[in-house]
Amino acid sequence: MASKDFYGRFSSRLDISECKFETAGSLKRVYTHPDMPDVVLKIVDPERTSGDARLKGESLIKRTNPLGVYRGFRRELTQYLILSRRWNEDERGAPPIAVPCGLVSTTAGLALVTEKIAGEGDELAPTLEKLFDKGTLAVKHLTAFDQLFKDCMDMHVVLSDMHMRQFLYSENRSGRPEFVVIDGIGEKNMIPLRSLSPYLNRRRLQRARDGIFDAIFARYPALKLEWTGKQANASRPELESKPAS
């Protein structure tokens, strides 16, 4: 039987009003933990749920899932467990997804605790969408974004609903430019075809990456020229070291 000390440490709910609000998406809200500034809490927006932790207006098929709104947490944890078996941090560095650390009960419902991808100071790192909107994208960002997708393809990481706001850019996390996936992690389909087939997953990731690149290049054609030139030079190593005439 668990001791009173165990219940004192782990069974009390965290007051969400004591946590710093960071950002919100269409379904989740994100807070920084009050005692651990390097992790964030992801909760499902209480305004979107009914009393039994299900989404309001949810279809009958989805209502058969006993996890309710927490099925997204399971997807993320499952994908991280699978990735942990394949990913060697000693060789490859930090993984391409924000690392989940556990679950905690809060006054706003169950929260998934994950690594905080920080930017300057204690703020969240900027999303690709923010860099896109501000016009601050450069070749280094495209290189990091392309590498993220290569890693996900190589390691058979399944991503869903891929949008610019799901990717955070940091140079602090690993001491190098990188994008990290913070949402839409794991297989959403009832029949997990992409989890079963590396080929189908790679094809879906390629389409998503190419679609985002197309959107960037449509807004910033000069960046496309710079990126295309860099790719051409990379395919001809002798040009990289050739001195200018």
pLDDT tens by residue, 55-82: 777 777 777 777 888 899 999 999 999 9
Helices (H), 57-111: 60-63, 71-86, 89-92
- For residue range 222-232, list pLDDT tens digits in order: 999 999 998 88
- Residue 66 is predicted with a pLDDT of 76
Of the options 3.40.50, 1.10.3210, 1.10.510, 2.60.120, the CATH number for the domain spanning 18-232:
1.10.510
- For residue range 169-198, list pLDDT tens digits in order: 999 999 999 999 999 999 988 899 999 999
- For residue range 77-113, list pLDDT tens digits in order: 999 999 999 999 888 999 999 999 999 999 999 999 9
- Residue 133 is predicted with a pLDDT of 98
- Residue 232 is predicted with a pLDDT of 82
Contact residues for 139 (Cβ-Cβ < 8 A; gap 6+): 223, 226, 227, 230
Q: Where are the domains of the chain?
A: 18-232
- Residue 83 is predicted with a pLDDT of 96
The strand pairing partners of 41, in sequence order, are 31, 113
d(CA 166, CA 160): 10
Q: Considering the entire predicted model, what is its pTM?
A: 0.88
- For residue range 230-241, list pLDDT tens digits in order: 888 877 665 554
- For residue range 154-177, list pLDDT tens digits in order: 999 999 989 999 999 999 999 999
Contact assessment for residue 56 and residue 146, using Cβ atoms and an 8 Å cutoff? no
| Mean pLDDT on 20-25 | 93
